[in-house]
Amino acid sequence: SLTGSPVTLKILQNWVPRVSHYFDKEHYTYVGHQIVIQESIEHFGAVVWPGALALSQYLESNQEQFNLKDKKVLEIGAGTGLLSIVACILGAHVTATDLPEVLENLSYNISRNTQNLNTHKPEVRKLVWGEGLNEDFPVSTYHYDFVLATDVVYHHGALDPLLATMVYFCKPGTVLLWANKFRFSTDYEFLEKVSNIFNTTILAEFPESNVKLLKATVRKN
């Protein structure tokens, strides 16, 4: 069941409009760093969605509550990589994952925006939800302090594999932070499934964008 009373926030206009020869480049500022994101219209995963903006903003503003410095952070469905870049700036050991067809653009954005930072070098890896988890990320080797997910729930048929992936990576001590724009009844049904499995708190709501930001942890037996 859901606990806590969420704060109500607004997604701040953290991006800086620039005259650019490319329509596919967005400029953002988080944690005092300018971040340039190349988008691609070919894939859902290659556009910056509001959930990524909301969680990036929240992590920047709540560094004491969620201190990422030297923590192991996994982002599932990393898309353009904005959130992973912000986590990297905040000092985390970041592994950004997504589908094979998104990885080239994801790698480009992450390396471009983190190459001059004095932080842990982020890793980009393929992850198809629910597939080959134990082979690619064996439990004996991989433990994450935080799992980040933004706008991973929309009209698609991969919700069961997504939930299985969240369950797989969320061990005792792991915090799942999930931000999503809630559009359809399926979004709320997925939220209910998450709440049935995890201890779930709504940390923040962004009513103008219909985004909710949730924290989930494994239930203690």
Q: What is the pLDDT of residues 129-181, one digit of tens each?
A: 999 999 999 999 999 999 999 999 976 778 999 999 999 999 999 999 999 99
Read off the pLDDT of each residue in 182-186 and give the average, rounded to a whole number.
89
Query: Residue 81: which of 57, 59, 48, 55 has the closest Cα?
Result: 48
Q: How many other C-beta atoms are found inside a 10 Å radius of the C-beta of residue 14? A: 14
Rounded to a whole number of angstroms, the CA Rg of the chain reads 16
Tokens of 102: 């998104």
Q: Which of the pair, 163 or 39, is modelled with greater confidence? A: 163
Residue 102, amino acid: V
d(CA 127, CA 169): 12
Asked if the model's pLDDT at residue 16 lies above 60, the reply is: no
Mean per-residue pLDDT, 67-85: 97
Q: Is the pLDDT of residue 79 over 90?
A: yes
| Torsion over CA: 144, 150, 153, 158 (sign) | negative
Q: What three-state secondary structure class fits 15?
A: strand
**Is the predicted pLDDT of residue 47 greater than 90, yes or no?**
no
Please say if the pLDDT value at position 27 is more than 80: yes
Q: Which domains does the chain have, with CATH numbers?
A: 47-218 (3.40.50.150)
| For the chain, percent of residues with pLDDT exceeding 70 | 89
The mean-pLDDT minimum among 25-39, 120-134, 165-179 falls in 25-39
Q: Which pLDDT band, with edges at 50, 70 and 90, does 21 fall under?
A: very low
Question: What confidence score (pLDDT) does residue 10 get?
Answer: 84
